């Protein structure tokens, strides 16, 4: 008996390149979501949770259109957030990122991710398959948590739009990272959202 959680970053949203904070999926984002839905169509999902932001909601709807047995539900625990501030171990290269982040935002992000871990990383009985459609930093925090890495390490974990990460827990064992940012379902031209261009 295994509990699987599929972690997906939302598809690309309209005018993201112009700094728009949220919005509907772009044509490319809709294609990404459609291919993600194809990839997950054989998974017996028991629940689909998503961030309430538009780009995540629309990605969840695209998946649900292929899997009518599950109804996507929003969760405020999956909102985009910054889960930590600077720590003594944070490399100096990351300091500039925190220049516009307030202490209140960091406190709220930390509390949110503590609650998210307590809500979702809880072993459920039987075989369970849950899909969480959320944001880059949230997925990075879950992966960091499962790996037991230092807090600042979430900053080094990036996910492409509609990239697929999978964590699982067998009865009596710790959570395990099965896959991270799997892009096999996306052609090269749809692999967007990473801070660096892949060389392949």
Residue length of the chain: 200
Q: Is residue 199 part of a domain?
A: no
Task: Give the total number of structural domains in the chain.
Answer: 1
**pLDDT (0 to 100) of residue 126:** 87
At 35-65, the pLDDT tens digits run 999 999 989 999 999 999 999 999 999 988 8
Q: Is residue 71 part of a domain?
A: yes
**pLDDT (0 to 100) of residue 73:** 96
Q: Is residue 31 part of a domain?
A: yes
Q: Is residue 197 part of a domain?
A: no
Residue 18: pLDDT band by 50, 70, 90 thresholds?
low
Structural domain of residue 42, as residue ranges?
A: 2-190
**pLDDT (0 to 100) of residue 81:** 95
pTM of the model: 0.94
Residue 17: pLDDT band by 50, 70, 90 thresholds?
low
Q: Is residue 42 part of a domain?
A: yes
CA 156 to centroid of chain Cα atoms: 14
By the 10 Å C-beta count (0-12 exposed, 13-18 middle, 19+ buried), 81 is classed as buried
At 74-84, the pLDDT tens digits run 999 999 999 99
Q: How far is CA 120 from CA 6, 90, 132, in A?
A: 11, 27, 9
The helix (run of H) or strand (run of E) holding residue 116 is: helix 103-120
CATH of residue 111's domain is 3.40.50.1240
Q: Is residue 28 part of a domain?
A: yes
At 19-38, the pLDDT tens digits run 667 779 999 999 999 999 99
């Amino acid at each position: 008996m295994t509990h699987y959680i599929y972690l997906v970053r939302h598809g690309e949203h309209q005018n993201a390149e112009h700094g728009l904070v949220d919005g509907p999926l772009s044509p490319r984002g809709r294609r990404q979501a459609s291919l993600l839905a194809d990839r997950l169509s054989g998974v017996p999902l028991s629940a689909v949770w998503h961030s309430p932001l538009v780009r995540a909601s629309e990605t969840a709807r695209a998946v649900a259109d292929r899997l009518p047995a599950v109804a996507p539900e929003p969760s405020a625990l999956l909102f985009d957030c910054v889960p930590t501030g600077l720590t003594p171990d944070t490399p100096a290269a990351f300091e500039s990122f925190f220049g516009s982040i307030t202490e209140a935002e960091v406190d709220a992000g930390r509390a949110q991710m503590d609650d998210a871990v307590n809500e979702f990383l809880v072993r459920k009985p039987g075989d369970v398959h849950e899909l969480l459609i959320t944001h880059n930093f949230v997925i990075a925090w879950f992966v960091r948590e499962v790996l037991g890495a230092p807090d600042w390490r979430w900053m080094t974990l990036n996910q492409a739009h509609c990239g697929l990460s999978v964590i699982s827990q067998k009865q009596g064992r710790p959570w395990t990272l099965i896959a991270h940012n799997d892009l096999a379902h996306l052609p090269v031209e749809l692999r967007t959202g990473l801070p660096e261009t892949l060389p392949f």
